[in-house]
Amino acid sequence: MKNLFFLFTVLILATLELNWPIFLNFFYCKPDLLLVFMVVVVFCTDFKTALIFGILAGLVKDLFSPGVSAVNTIGFSVWSYAVYLFSRQISTDESYVRLAVVLAVGLLHNFIIGLQSIGAGNILSWGVFLRNLIIVSVYSMSLAPLIFKLTKRIAS
């Protein structure tokens, strides 16, 4: 039952991201809700469930991206594992620690996607690169408490 609710959450967040209102964009950037969900689900459930839903979230994101690479699927599974290892090393009970983890994962994930895009020969100015790196990560982090509350309620 819990897994079914998580599945619904992935679908709802994906739909929300696909139809994110333009007036809620911040400097042309929208938050990465599925990435936040992927991180948050590690804190709320066991590792196996978190990994499965992390991969699923990445897969959904890749399905709706114009690129052919599965960078989000691979990235999300790696970040799920990394966050799991990290949460075993230090206490992540405090909400600010969790927000910091969301921010760190957001920055790393966007940095890798940005590098991949530049590596593919695309022209990205420093401004656009930093905008997508910082604003998307911070915007995602700012919405993390909402997703965290939702996920925690489903998990309990």
Partner 1 sequence: MLKLPRKIIINFVLVLSVLLLVSRSLSCFKNPAQKVFRPQLSFIAFVKHEFLGIIFYHRNMLQAGNLQKDIDLLRWRLFDLRELSQENIRLKDLLNFKQKSPLRLVAARVIGRTMDSWSSSVIIDKGKYHGIKSGMAVICPKGLVGSIVESTESTSKVLLINDPNQGVFSIVQRNRQEGLVNGTLGGNLIMRYLPEEAQIVIGDIIITSELSQVYPKGLLLGRVVSIGREFSGLNRYALVKPLVDLTSIEEVLVIIP
Query: For partner 1, which residue of 6, 38, 44, 61 counts as binding (CB under 8 A)?
Result: 61
Candidate list 41, 132, 144, 151; residue touching partner 1; CB under 8 A:
132
Out of 45, 87, 110, 151, point to the residue binding partner 1 (CB under 8 A): 110
Selected binder of partner 1 within 1, 48, 96, 122 (CB under 8 A) = 122
Single out the segment in contact with partner 1 by CB under 8 A; choices: 3-11, 78-86, 107-115, 141-149. Answer: 107-115
Nearest to 92 by CA among 148, 133, 147, 137: 148
H-type helices in the chain, by residue range? 2-18, 33-44, 47-63, 71-89, 95-119, 126-130, 136-155
Separation between Cα atoms, residue 129 and residue 133, nearest integer Å: 6
**Which residues share a beta bridge with 29?**
26
Looking at the Cβ atoms of 57 and 101, the one nearer to partner 1 is 57
How many residues touch partner 1 under the rule CB under 8 A: the total is 31
Q: Please report whether residue 65 would count as binding partner 1 according to CB under 8 A.
A: yes
Contact 111, 129 (CB under 8 A): no
For partner 1, the closer of residues 1 and 22 by Cβ is 22
Q: Which tokens in the block code for residue 52?
A: 């499965």
- Among 7, 18, 85, 90, which residue sits at the site for partner 1 (rule: CB under 8 A)? 18
What backbone torsions phi and psi does residue 29 show, to the nearest 5 degrees?
A: -110, 145
Residue 14 CB, nearest approach to partner 1 (Å): 7
Tell me the three state secondary structure of residue 26: strand
